[in-house]
Structure 1
């Protein structure tokens, strides 16, 4: 039995992962991570942290966050409770898709995960109350290397599913992508 179906996303460095649960009369069992499968796809990392984000209200936006090199992170993301629209923006200055974004619906019921390579800003909007997002990262958090893009950057024009989100004061002060220095992004 294959425990995961892994497919490249539209943007190079993004992978859509679908977990394949084993169902019976009691419910289901699913493997959340399999080192051998991930290694076979070249995606295994030495995960250093696992984080859990809880948002009380539908319409909460967190992001768009990333870490500058040399602390740029790979992320493996899934939703353990609720539903989100997960959004990721290519901030790799040497990429042909620099400044492009994509998104994916992640819910507790669709068994979808995202693998996001370093060089992407990441954020999400909660589509339900009491939403819990869990993600692994392969670098330790470094406040000196923290970066982000304004969630409603007019140049990106991301179609968020909410007009007036619940958002932190810190995220409201992030800069649009064109105001970030390309030297630091390299």
Structure 2
């Protein structure tokens, strides 16, 4: 497993080894012992799978607040996305900063996102599928979002925000300036 640090403390890019031949490849995307060896001690309890039929679909920026906050391990099963993570841990020196990682079926990269971050993505190709493990179940009463194209965040999504394909929830999400984070940075 190749491990890369990002500019946001705790957010990691994980690239599992692929064993391939003319038939395709095999890759171990999750192994508890391997993850423990790199400092990730998470008991995942839910797997999610999303399909976005068109390029330019934006999903996010989402979070789930305590007591049902979620750690996530995200990868593309088909197509490609720009996966975006924003630090919302009050007291963090990177509060309000973001990082983006291209995840594709071809590159096999995964992003580990701990609790305390907004998460979203934009599809770069039609029929893109995102697969992700979560450390807590979906809890609608803890679900929240921030507007993806908020100028205070300055995220470069690589598309014109006016052309983004959004759900009503994401289109009407609160601005970052109006957002009160439920997360605190712990050193």
Q: TM-score range by the shorter chain?
A: over 0.9
| Residues 9-44 of structure 1, C-alpha deviations (whole Å, 9 max, x = no match) | 211010110111011232211111111110011113
Aligned in 2, Cα 1:34/1:105: closer, same or farther, shift over 3 Å? same
Equivalenced residues, count: 182
Q: After the TM superposition, which of the residue ranges 54-63 and 8-17 deviates more from structure 2?
A: 8-17
Alignment partner, residue 10 of structure 2: 13
Following the alignment from structure 1 to structure 2, what is the Cα–Cα distance between the partners of residues 82 and 64? Answer: 20
| Residues 51-78 of structure 1, C-alpha deviations (whole Å, 9 max, x = no match) | 0010010000000000112211100000
Alignment partner, residue 115 of structure 1: 112
Following the alignment from structure 1 to structure 2, what is the Cα–Cα distance between the partners of residues 58 and 7? Answer: 27
The Cα of 1:185 is off from its aligned counterpart by 4.1
Q: Which runs of 5+ in 2 are unaligned?
A: none
Residue 178, structure 1, aligned to residue 171, structure 2:
no
Following the alignment from structure 1 to structure 2, what is the Cα–Cα distance between the partners of residues 145 and 23? Answer: 42
Q: How does 1:30-41 map to 2 (within 5 A)?
A: 30-41=27-38
Q: How does 1:22-171 map to 2 (within 5 A)?
A: 22-163=19-160, 164-171=163-170
Task: Give TM-score scaled by structure 2 length.
Answer: 0.94
Q: After the TM superposition, which of the residue ranges 76-85 and 66-75 deviates more from structure 2?
A: 66-75
Following the alignment from structure 1 to structure 2, what is the Cα–Cα distance between the partners of residues 56 and 28? Answer: 25
Task: Give TM-score scaled by structure 1 length.
Answer: 0.94
Following the alignment from structure 1 to structure 2, what is the Cα–Cα distance between the partners of residues 57 and 25? Answer: 30
Q: After the TM superposition, which of the residue ranges 18-27 and 168-177 deviates more from structure 2?
A: 18-27
The Cα of 1:90 is off from its aligned counterpart by 0.5
Following the alignment from structure 1 to structure 2, what is the Cα–Cα distance between the partners of residues 185 and 20? Answer: 34
Which secondary structure does the structure 2 equivalent of 1:122 belong to?
strand
Moved over 3 A (4+): none
Following the alignment from structure 2 to structure 1, what is the Cα–Cα distance between the partners of residues 141 and 44? Answer: 20
